[in-house]
Amino acid sequence: MNDDQLLRYSRHILLDAIGIEGQRRLMAAHALVIGAGGLGSPVLLFLASAGVGTITVADDDSVDLTNLQRQIAHRSSGIGQPKVQSAAAAMTAINPEVRVVALPERTDAQRLCVLVQEADVVIDCSDNFATRQAINAACVAHARPLVSGAAVQFDGQVSVYDARSAASPCYACIFPPEATLQDAACATMGVFAPLVGIIGSVQAAEALKLLIGTGTSLAGRLQMLDAGTMEWSEIRLSRDPNCTVCGPHRRDANAGDMTVP
């Protein structure tokens, strides 16, 4: 670590729970972020500012005027640009040392298996149920910790699903893939601007803690925020022994076949 890096990351290094070794872990780490919108914006900016060595971001959308009310990684000058390109510019402006891999694409299950396998932590900042399920399946298949968040109107939720732990539930344990859920789109339901910043910041904090190996993660706990009253509530989560994704009879993330470990 050179003198400029020691200065840049000095406020992390001063923390006993991080120090120089923890900062080095961040600088050697690879984070995968799916989504560069409302949740992805604070996640990407904080990961970059914290010095995560490689950050891969995937999103097939472009910056729109309606995004700027809450998606703080983007600027008016970026309208029409791919979100990953706009976000990458913001990230490197904060910290030119980080390596940003910008993927302007919608990731399917097969692609996710490749991307997840290359990452140390995965942060789900997507906005639809199918993508969340595909991300979770890939994380279970490759034993990668998943930090998942969601926000709409004044309601947000965040948790960690850590496939490295036998006791930790996966996303599908709590939200089964076969469940009939209607995606709540910001375009039709609206979202309170600071809400995505709050939930995204918690996601970034959980991802950094996992990469450093410090603190206690949200694995096994689902935290929910009502930003209208600014009240947090928490639900304890248990693994579903009959889960079709992480249970004894699970579907292979690549082929869709049933497997028994």
Rounded Cα gap, residues 161 and 261, in angstroms: 19
Per-residue pLDDT of the chain (261 residues; tens, 9 = 90+): 999 999 999 999 999 999 999 999 999 999 999 999 999 999 999 999 999 999 999 999 999 999 999 999 999 999 999 999 999 999 999 999 999 999 999 999 999 999 999 999 999 999 899 999 999 999 999 999 999 999 999 999 999 999 999 899 999 999 998 876 666 666 678 999 999 999 999 999 999 999 999 999 999 999 999 999 999 999 999 999 999 999 886 655 443 443 323
Split into its structural domains, the chain has a count of: 1
Hunting for tokens 């732990």 — which residue is that?
165
Element (H, E) at 178: none
* Complete DSSP assignment for 91-129: HHHH-TTSEEEEE-S---HHHHHHHHHH-SEEEE--SSH
- pLDDT recorded at residue 189: 81
Closest residue by Cα to residue 112 from 134, 93, 90: 134
Q: How far apart are CA 29 and CA 257, in angstroms?
A: 32
- Contacts (Cβ under 8 Å, ≥6 apart) of 231: 225
**Which pTM value belongs to this model?**
0.92
What pLDDT score was predicted for residue 188?
Answer: 74
CA 78 centroid distance within chain: 23
Backbone φ and ψ of 47, nearest 5°: -60, -40
Q: How far apart are CA 2 and CA 6, in angstroms?
A: 6
- Kindly name the residue from 125, 170, 186, 243 that is annotated as catalytic: 186
CATH number at residue 79: 3.40.50.720
Dist CA 153 CA 95 (whole Å): 32
Say which residues have a Cβ less than 8 Å from residue 206's Cβ, sequence separation at least 6.
Answer: 147, 158, 160, 217, 218
186 an active-site residue?
A: yes
Give the C-alpha distances (Å, rounded to integers) separating 217 from 34, 221, 222, 249. 20, 9, 11, 27
| Domain span holding position 87 | 3-259
The pLDDT assigned to 185 comes to 62
Count of C-beta atoms within a 10 Å radius of residue 48? 25
Helix (H) or strand (E) holding 23: helix 19-28
DSSP 234: E
